[in-house]
Amino acid sequence: MSTRPTAVLVAGLSALLLAACSSAGGSSDAPAGSPDGPHPVRATPTPTPTPTPTGPYVALGDSYTAGLKISPQVGEPKGCARSAVNYPSLVAKALGLADGRFKDVSCSGARTGDLTGSQQTDGGGANPPQLDALSPATRLVTVGIGGNDAGFMEVVGECAKENLADAVKSLIGSDRAAAPCREHYASAGGAADQVQRKVDAAGERLGQVLQEVKRRSPQARVYVVGYPVLLPADPASCVPVLGRTVSEGDLGFLAEKEQQLNAMLKRRAETAGAVFVDAAAPSVGHDMCAGEAVRWVEPPFPAPGLAAIHPNARGQEGVAAAVLKAVRG
């Protein structure tokens, strides 16, 4: 954020105070600069705003960055499922970057290890190590990754399974649990929170990746992009979309896990000297339980042609706006 308004305000207040002191004390015959005379006022230098980077720009990330199933799909390998209107492409267009100054190497299914190693995609073809797209000339980098390392989609699937099993038990007379998925993760393996352990491990790997980004592109401004909210603050509002297949307690559990993931990304970005782009705050009210006309993330039964529990085109536009706000300061 620019400090120009603060500098102007400080300079203005200084001038007013000096004027007040001169009026109260009258004139002085002592020479300027003497112990008893008025001292010359030195102008407060105005900080120069950091210019918006003009590229080269490299986008790294997983399916939330790539734009899984959002038309039109472009680039190679096809299995990465990159969209021509994902947030990196929208950011590059807004910054006026020509093709030669923008590389999108994000890939659906990517984990942090796929930034330094080749990734074999489900749809065929291998995506080269994403960090290979960096160079000393790179001036802007966005990184949107970590959810697959934390196994977030596996957690969603596990919650659906635990709630289904609990519903079957209720048919034979057992009381339904308030949050069967939370209970499963709290008790399995004696770990207080298996998901948090995965999030922490993902953070360690992300920290190493960000160090490598800085090593390869020391002049680049690096932005770690968080994930938009999947669920609303009030789980009851999801009943019209999800029914009662997942308990309100477990919807709250899933929301907590995503908050933990975003909190980890923010900490790692700050530790590495990168900027964290909060995609959660602007997406409030646009979760997968919101109406089709406003949601940024598709529900388990998505609109035709889109990916379940992934951003739609509107979501990519919203994240692009958050990134641009951060980049432009």
Give CA–CA dist 30/34, Å, rounded: 7
- Which residue is catalytic, options 83, 108, 283, 310? 310
- Which residue is catalytic, options 34, 39, 63, 217? 63
Pair 145, 224: CB distance under 8 Å: no
Concatenate the DSSP letters of all residues of 271-326 into one string.
HTT-EEE--HHHHTT-STTS-TTT-SB--SSPSTTS-TTSB-HHHHHHHHHHHHHH
Pair 81, 311: CB distance under 8 Å: no
Q: Nearest to residue 324, comparing CAs of 90, 97, 110, 35?
A: 90
Q: Nearest to residue 258, comparing CAs of 174, 326, 202?
A: 202
Active site residue 184: no
Residue given tokens 């289904």 in the structure block: 164
**Strands 73-74 and 82-83, bridge-based pairing:** antiparallel
Active site residue 286: no
Residues acting as catalytic residues: 63, 310
